[in-house]
Amino acid sequence: MPTKVYEIKHVKLIDGTLFDVPPLKIYYMRQFMDRFSEMTGESEIPVLDHLIDCSLIAMKQYYPEIKTVEQLEDMMDIQNMYKLIEYCSGIKMATNEQTEEVEKEIEKNESSSNWENLDLAKLESEVFILGIWKDYEQLEKSLSLSELFITLEATRDFDYQNKKFTAAIQGVDIDENKQEEDPWEAMKARVAAKESGIGNGNPNDITAMQGIAAQQAGFGIGMGLDYEVVNA
């Protein structure tokens, strides 16, 4: 079975309407988590009001027709609102309607702290260099966190394969488990390459594969590379 980036779930409105709930795009997730993180024991705003505000933020992506608190209360019951919050953000909510139970779930939930510790700017900068998006706002409106992570993984793998190919051209297998290189021999190789004026002192440069460097690599200029004159 093909792998999935994420699973799309569904939430039902009071009138029976079903709508899809994939993970929130980063643009809305940022607003959602900023609002969610305000739910502390010191807050004077009731927990339920916070959750309604979070749900309205999610509706900007899933069901833009619902724009106000009144519309949300008329069209969605509290159980489905809890499902919405869980599906879009991964924050598990209590199934009990009592506010005290919800508060306990929020207190023990780690999603908020994980979000605060996430270096999102660094992760986004790695995929932004692909040149697909005109700015970071467009990137955040295009990708959810799960989409960002899988894109980042593919980008890093592509970069690694390029480095592996470049190293292979120079006779270096970066995947091979090699014993630790003798520091003295490595230094002599660097000095020899630097004195020869080729390779910029880099013994891994194919043009610098001479002497000890060639022996260690298994080939090199003057070490098995030869030519013959062929008459036309």
With 0.75 as the threshold, say if the pTM is over it.
no
Q: From CA 30, how far away is CA 140, in angstroms rounded?
A: 9
pLDDT of residue 17: 93
Contact (Cβ atoms closer than 8 angstroms) between residue 216 and residue 185: yes
Give the type of residue at 130. Answer: L
Number of domains in the chain: 3
Based on the domain organization, do 95 and 164 belong to the same domain?
A: no
pLDDT for residue 221 is more than 50:
no
What pLDDT, in 10s, does the model give residues 6-41? 788 999 999 999 999 999 999 999 999 988 888 765
Q: Residue 2 class from Cβ within 10 Å (0-12 exposed, 13-18 middle, 19+ buried)?
A: exposed
> Rounded to 5, what percent of the chain is helix, strand, coil?
55, 5, 40
Based on the domain organization, do 220 and 192 belong to the same domain?
A: yes
Based on the domain organization, do 61 and 134 belong to the same domain?
A: no
Based on the domain organization, do 28 and 41 belong to the same domain?
A: yes
Binning pLDDT at 50, 70 and 90, where does residue 53 land?
Answer: very high
Phi/psi at 18 (5° precision): -100, 140
Give the type of residue at 126. Answer: E
pLDDT of residue 193: 55
179 assigned to some structural domain: yes
Distance, C-alpha 42 to centroid of its chain: 33
Q: What is the mean pLDDT of the chain?
A: 76
Give the structural domain span for 139: 120-169
Based on the domain organization, do 20 and 105 belong to the same domain?
A: yes
pLDDT of residue 64: 94
What pLDDT, in 10s, does the model give residues 149-205? 899 888 888 888 888 888 888 888 777 655 555 555 565 566 555 554 444 445 445
4 assigned to some structural domain: no
Based on the domain organization, do 71 and 32 belong to the same domain?
A: yes
pLDDT of residue 72: 94
- Name, in order, each residue with C-beta under 8 angstroms of 203's C-beta and a sequence gap of 6 or more: 186, 189, 190, 192, 193, 209, 213
Based on the domain organization, do 98 and 165 belong to the same domain?
A: no
pLDDT for residue 108 is more than 80:
no
